[in-house]
Amino acid sequence: MTNLIDGRAIAEKVYVDLRRDIAELKARGVAPGLAVILVGDNPASRTYVRSKDKMCRDLGLHSVKLELPATTTQSELLARVKEFNRDPAIHGILVQSPPPKQIDEAAIVRALDPGKDVDGFHPENVAKLALGDPTGLVPCTPLGCHRLLVESEIDISGAQVVILGRSMIVGKPLALLLMQKGIDATVTIAHSRTRNLGEITRSADIIVAAIGRAEFLRADHVRDGVVVIDVGINRVDDPANERGYRLVGDVAFSEVAPKARAITPVPGGVGPMTIAMLMSNTVKAAKQASKERRLGQPPTST
């Protein structure tokens, strides 16, 4: 019988723990702070930024939302990032993706203080994930996928995990996370050039789909008893819906769910966990910064 993995309910559990951590930090005079920079007026990005800001406020985090015009230059954006790097009230910085085309996103990520890089995209944090250094900040969506599995009591150790997609946001960091000692999955990554995909996915105990192709994973791709984490968010036309579209994942849910031991819905699965893990990374960054300050260590970068 299929067990639905409820991302909203699991995110609420994360928030219970975070509220306690935030209260402890505040009692020591530290209010964790997140700065979110939005360049331009992409409507989807604006919605994401608004929900991040709202969640910060709900949790009692210090939240700064900086909205810059679409004409912002690389050097103007770099200057703003450096200001937040120096600001002791800000522990996490996020530049909402995608920025306008004149912005070199990779250079912006490299300019972030790695200790404040709550997206976990800075090369130092990527290296720490590869090295298994727990002081690193890990990208939010992979962290959310892992937490969903843990909270659902899915046995990851020794499991065959097949990840569809090799992006630096989801597939690659998730593979690095799940293969770490102590988590101990046997990980295979598939991508657009993978041959015999069905053979690979049918061998999986756990499948994570992160490719951005609506309802790509079908019933004949999976074996009975599989656990499926669907990261995809795709819009498909739906005249019956008042918005004219509906959101679906990378998994054909109605076909795959009857074969699955456990599966995430879209929406309401990975999405709520991504934002919960952003809040969690901000609190982790604040804890680490306050510990460094107590020990009299210099910040990780200038």
Question: By rule CB under 6 A, what count of residues binds ligand NAP?
Answer: 24
Token look-up 């849910």 returns: 253
| Span interacting with ligand NAP, options 11-19, 28-36, 73-81, 189-197, rule CB under 6 A | 189-197
Distance of closest approach, residue 279 Cβ to ligand NAP, in angstroms: 13
Among 39, 56, 164, 177, binds ligand NAP (CB under 6 A): 164
Bridge partners for 4 per DSSP: 263
Distance of closest approach, residue 139 Cβ to ligand NAP, in angstroms: 9
DSSP symbol at 222? S
For the sheet containing 33-39, what is the strand order?
A: 62-68, 33-39, 92-95
Distance of closest approach, residue 165 Cβ to ligand NAP, in angstroms: 4
119 is catalytic: yes
Go through 196-209 and write b for each residue having 16 or more CB atoms within 10 A of its CB, e for each that does not: ebeebbeebbbbbb
Is there binding between residue 282 and ligand NAP (CB under 6 A)?
A: no
237 is catalytic: no
Is there binding between residue 47 and ligand NAP (CB under 6 A)?
A: no
Is there binding between residue 231 and ligand NAP (CB under 6 A)?
A: yes
Is there binding between residue 85 and ligand NAP (CB under 6 A)?
A: no
Is there binding between residue 114 and ligand NAP (CB under 6 A)?
A: no
Q: Of 276, 178, 272, 182, give the one whose Cα is nearest residue 227.
A: 178
Q: What is the DSSP string of 88-110?
A: TT--EEEEPSSPPTTS-HHHHHH
Q: Are strands 33-39 and 62-68 parallel, antiparallel or unpaired?
A: parallel
Distance of closest approach, residue 110 Cβ to ligand NAP, in angstroms: 19
Is there binding between residue 268 and ligand NAP (CB under 6 A)?
A: no
CA distance 229 to 231: 6
Among 121, 271, 280, 282, binds ligand NAP (CB under 6 A): 271
What are residue 97's phi and psi, to 5 degrees?
A: -100, 145
* Residue ranges that bind ligand NAP, judged by CB under 6 A: 141, 164-167, 169-171, 190-194, 210-213, 231-234, 270-271, 274
Catalytic residues: 52, 96, 119
